[in-house]
Amino acid sequence: MKNKKINGSRILLECLYRLGIREMFGYPGGSVIPIYDEIYKFGKLKHYFSRHEQGAAHEADGYARASGRIGVCIATSGPGATNTVTGIMTAHMDSVPLLAITGQVSSNLLGKDAFQESDIVGITLPITKNSYLVTDIRDLPRVIKEAYYIATTGRPGPVLVDIPKDIQLDEIDYEEFEILYSKELDLPGYDPTIKGHPWQIKKAVQLIKEAKKPLIIAGAGVLKSMCTEDLREFARKADIPVTTTLLGLGVMPSDDELFLGMLGMHGTVTANFATAEADLVIAAGIRFDDRIAGQPNKFCEQAKIIHVDIDPAEIGKNKKVEVPIVGDLKNVLESFNKSIDKLEHRDWVEQLNLWKKEYPLTYENGKDGRLMPQDVMVGLDKILDGNAIVTTDVGQHQMWVAQYIRFNNPNSLITSGGAGTMGFGIPSAIGAQIAKPHVKVVAIVGDGGFQMTFQELMMLRHYDLPLKVVIINNSYLGMVRQWQEMFNDGRYSFVDLSINPDFGKIAEAYDLEYAKIESKEELDKKLRGLIESDKATIIECRVEKEVNVLPMIPSGSSVANMVGKRGVLEDA
């Protein structure tokens, strides 16, 4: 190895490999040609060729959510880098560990408006945990190690590393690289709190023992902390009902007596009623965002609140709490489980079970056998049986998925929560399928969102991925239409998609299997065979056009303003 040289591009790949990364997504361009040249020669990393940089970011995101590992994407400078911004923002809002590597113009051209130059570090500062511009090849080993560590520890999130082309080509001695790589990380000021404060935990335990109507609200933090079993143990030991945020679905088995379903704007009546009646709420890894809290001062109005989160910035940001606990949720739940013996809240649980029976999720049958969007979800649920990975775009179909499909396992629902990113469904499903090649993965998308990223379908052919894409085609931007109907006197402004393209021809263009389902009878006959096949398939479901997602708590309102408690159209 003496006097052997290594360039910046090879350093990047060596660092990624040594950090345990084996797969990445990307799209080449002029400012990353040296990196792609080394990928060609390196042979230890599998690179998946995306068809758009936004797709690459979402694929890395879906890969991370499905696997629990970091996702990596690569893009060139300028428009290539800026095309990743939506994906980076999506990962940022949902606390997904993502490493975005971008090429940059050569160092001597920085700040001179060179061809395809953009200040991607400045652009992404608000939506990353950290961003780096590498100006010295000797900094590269440290930067990649730091980026990986920051993205995957504490509250996970995206980190961007911008590497000028000359740094990619520059060389140092291999021995010097080894010395640089072996140095210990030194990150002053970055020290996430892992252990919850013992005194705060003691106060929380006392409140839990005294509560008559306790409620657990579980969010994505449970999944990030990999403590699903700890939370289930705590809920059952303390006999506490559990509701989840959208991103928390899968934390509790759907058929568990203590599980109330999702809460919030389109949550179950029982879950939302429980928040109004509870005298104690254990908020586990949630943000109290507006889609669940509505009017924060009216949310959980009768309850004392214990809020556990690894990010101190989230505690008290949206909702005043009695017992704040900053720390890793797994450690805090382990402390709860050690401190609490068997508790009983049978009267409370039975009351909630009565509400489940009184206010089930229901919907009308389609007239003359026409297909309802909820029919599709119920049909998929019977086939998937709570054990597949489902990804979605954003809109009405996303909420129907959350309402009608069971998620019994952690990380089985992959959806854009905080950002609400249309176009997320297909690329995130590709990333999930690559992360979990032996698991059934189904992308459920709207006819609007499908058209934003369907170029990624070529990856299904390229890599022989057996992904199923279910298009809920109501010929509208459905959720926007619903809001315009309910809050804008039915003024449907630019939501009509009746001139959609022929989705069958799109499937044909990408050499994929295709099926169209237009009635309940066709659904019952065709859906199982299509989903259970081993071929990549686009399934277009043409559903009733003007169906609303119910129940619904209007934005900024409280449980008292819930519309359609029984989930049927007449209640709207």
What letter does residue 519 receive in the DSSP assignment?
B
Strands 441-446 and 280-284: what pairing?
A: unpaired
Separation CA 51–CA 390 (nearest Å): 22
440 flagged as catalytic: no
Q: What is the pLDDT of residue 565?
A: 67
479 flagged as catalytic: yes
Q: What is the pLDDT of residue 127?
A: 98
Question: Which of 145, 165, 330, 468 is the catalytic position?
Answer: 165
Q: What is the pLDDT of residue 569?
A: 37
Look up residue 227 and give its two tokens: 């403590």
Q: What is the pLDDT of residue 570?
A: 38
The pLDDT > 70 percentage for the chain reads 98
Q: Where are the beta strands (DSSP E) in 447-505?
A: 468-473
CATH 3.40.50.1220 in the chain, residues? 198-358
Helix (H, G, I), strand (E, B) or coil at 306: strand
Separation CA 184–CA 371 (nearest Å): 60
The region of weakest confidence among 70-79, 92-101, 358-367, 558-567 is 558-567
Domain 367-546 has CATH 3.40.50.1100: no
**For 273-287, what is each residue's pLDDT tens digit?**
999 999 999 999 999
Look up residue 269 and give its two tokens: 């009546």
Amino acid present at 282: I
What contacts 213, CB < 8 A, 6 or more positions away?
277, 278, 279, 280, 345, 348
Helix (H, G, I), strand (E, B) or coil at 89: helix
Q: What is the pLDDT of residue 564?
A: 86
Residue 566 banded pLDDT, cuts 50, 70, 90: low
**pLDDT over 90 (residue 567):** no
Task: Say if residue 439 is exposed, middle or buried (CB neighbours under 10 Å; 0-12, 13-18, 19+).
Answer: middle
Q: What is the pLDDT of residue 568?
A: 45
Look up residue 49 and give its two tokens: 């060729």
Separation CA 413–CA 421 (nearest Å): 15
Question: Which of 115, 202, 210, 229 is the catalytic position?
Answer: 115
**For 152-208, what is each residue's pLDDT tens digit?**
999 999 999 999 999 999 999 999 999 999 999 999 999 999 999 999 999 999 999
Rg of the chain (C-alpha set) = 25
- Please say whether the dihedral angle defined by the alpha carbons of residues 5, 7, 8 and 9, taken in this order, is positive or negative: negative
**pLDDT over 70 (residue 16):** yes
Query: Which helix (DSSP H) or strand (DSSP E) does residue 24 occupy?
Result: strand 23-26
The partner residues of 162 in beta bridges, in order of sequence, read 102, 133
Q: Where are the beta strands (DSSP E) in 433-480?
A: 441-446, 468-473
**For 524-546, what is each residue's pLDDT tens digit?**
999 999 999 999 999 999 999 99
Per-chain mean pLDDT for the chain: 96
494 flagged as catalytic: no
CATH (residue range 5-182): 3.40.50.970
Q: What is the pLDDT of residue 175?
A: 97
Question: Which of 116, 200, 295, 455 is the catalytic position?
Answer: 116
Residue 2 banded pLDDT, cuts 50, 70, 90: low
Contact 397, 549 (CB under 8 A): no
Between the alpha carbon of residue 396 and those of residues 266, 421, 543, the distances in Å are 10, 13, 12
What letter does residue 527 receive in the DSSP assignment?
H
**pLDDT over 60 (residue 572):** no
Look up residue 41 and give its two tokens: 């020669």
**For 80-117, what is each residue's pLDDT tens digit?**
999 999 999 999 999 999 999 999 999 999 999 999 99
Residue 571 banded pLDDT, cuts 50, 70, 90: very low
Q: What is the pLDDT of residue 3?
A: 75
Separation CA 196–CA 198 (nearest Å): 6
Architecture of domain 198-358 in this structure: 3-Layer(aba) Sandwich (3.40)
The partner residues of 413 in beta bridges, in order of sequence, read 390
In this prediction, residues 67-82 reach a mean pLDDT of 98
Question: Which of 23, 38, 53, 59 is the catalytic position?
Answer: 53
**pLDDT over 90 (residue 560):** no
In this prediction, residues 469-488 reach a mean pLDDT of 97
CATH 3.40.50.970 in the chain, residues? 5-182, 367-546
Backbone angles phi, psi at 246, to 5 degrees: -55, -45
Place of tokens 């805090």: 332
Closest CA to 507 of 531, 481, 535, 529: 535
Strands 513-517 and 537-542: what pairing?
A: parallel
Separation CA 83–CA 360 (nearest Å): 42
Separation CA 18–CA 22 (nearest Å): 9
116 flagged as catalytic: yes
Cα distance between the two ends of the chain: 73
53 flagged as catalytic: yes
Question: Which of 265, 399, 422, 479 is the catalytic position?
Answer: 479
pTM: 0.97
